[in-house]
Amino acid sequence: MENRQLTIFFDKLKQVIQDKTLIKMVLSNQRNHSSDLKSIIISIVEIKTGERINFVFRHKTNDITKNYGVEEAVLLIRKALEDDFLNADLFSGDENFRLLITEHGKVKIRSNQSLLKPASGFTHDHRKERIVATQNNVYLRELGVLNDRFEVRHNMNDKYLQINNYIELLEPFIRELDLPDGFHVADMGSGKGYLTFALYDYLTNVLGKAAVMTGVESRAELVKLSNEIASKAAFTNLKFICGTIQEVTLEKTDLLIALHACDTATDDAIYRGITSGASLIVCAPCCHKQVRKDFHATNELKSITRHGILEERQAEIITDAIRALIMEAHGYKTKIFEFISTEHTPKNLMIVGRKLSKPPARQGKQLEQIRAIKELFGVKRHYLEELFGTRSN
């Protein structure tokens, strides 16, 4: 089977293996539907003897895993596309490609970028300079994102890109702030601390600011691990404390972050940010269970919310819209946007609140809007509203 599109695709495959930007490749859409082999998942692995290409052969009832050298792997992929599968999805750091073979043997390539034009495509060494540097980056090594040679591990490419994406996204909001020396940053629900370390690194080493940062996390083992890594990285003004977002004692907070803090923990974080007068509040809500439990549409909306997934989406929209209105009522200018492709996670909304120098003239306006939304959707309670003791019905 030879074809120009196939040649382009295989050149791309070899390139992403060589550049180490291959995240994974999936061969699917069986040629023979009765075959026991359903798909093959291919990725790069590092083993003691060096790099190998890992194949997971997905059969109906079991998986078989094998490692191959690069040349052998490329031959096997070619053979699998000739004999077994019609599709190949290639995921790499910067671009994704789909190879489609029709039943008549026509080959097409789809890309999420326009890099497939022969004249401009496949230039070598196009790796982008990232905002989170890998060179001598102790925290990323300790977190397992980098290997001992400070190179991104193949299976952590996605994580590394996500960390960069997050800092790039925060950058314009942070640059807008007039932060005093020694300003305080709180990361609520810091988890393993990937983003906490990256933000501290960015603030202190890229922007040269004297930041004091605290990661708040309820899981003691993560707090211990993160404090050990902060010490190894010599991040002297970064500490992690074990406690809950609701109760932890913080000196003050100028900038508050809460990424994927579960359910109402996002509300607790917003509450802490507003009440401490934080200049910037950045949240990526996680699940929206509270409002979902507490809304019961009795009007035409019932025909929408009777579908579980639509009810879930509706709960997300109502929860976050009310959160934004409450922030606005307390003098914040808000922005809600998608911060990462839904391919990575469906929980991809970010709410950013920037404290205005002048409080709003009429706080009541937002409270009226909240009341109207609640009435329309039959929402009985919103946890953040209750924290402020301003229930609007």
Ligand X SMILES: C[S@@+](CC[C@H](N)C(=O)[O-])C[C@H]1O[C@@H](n2cnc3c(N)ncnc32)[C@H](O)[C@@H]1O
Residues that bind ligand X (CB under 6 A): 189-191, 194-195, 216-219, 222, 244-245, 259-262, 265, 268
Nearer to ligand X, 20 or 347 (CB): 347
- Closest separation in Å from C-beta 75 to ligand X: 39
Q: Please name the residue that has the structure tokens 């439990």.
A: 293
Residue nearest to ligand X (CB): 191
- Closest separation in Å from C-beta 91 to ligand X: 21
Nearer to ligand X, 143 or 291 (CB): 143
- Closest separation in Å from C-beta 9 to ligand X: 34
Nearer to ligand X, 261 or 370 (CB): 261
- The alpha carbons of the chain give a radius of gyration, in whole angstroms, of 25
> DSSP assignment, residue 179?
P
- Closest separation in Å from C-beta 199 to ligand X: 11
Nearer to ligand X, 89 or 267 (CB): 267
**Amino acid found at 214:** T
- Closest separation in Å from C-beta 228 to ligand X: 17
Q: Is-contact 285 313, C-beta < 8 A?
A: no
Angle at 242 between CA 238 and CA 248, to 5 degrees: 90
- Closest separation in Å from C-beta 309 to ligand X: 21
Nearer to ligand X, 259 or 326 (CB): 259
> DSSP assignment, residue 69?
-
Nearer to ligand X, 95 or 217 (CB): 217
Full 3-state SS string of 109-172 = EEECCCCCCCCCCCCCCCCCCCCCCCCCCHHHHHCCCECCCCCECHHHHHHHHHHHHHHHHHHH
Angle at 22 between CA 20 and CA 23, to 5 degrees: 120
Q: In what order do the strands lie in the sheet with 22-30?
A: 63-68, 50-59, 37-47, 22-30, 85-92, 96-101, 107-111
Residue 15: Cβ within 10 Å count: 18
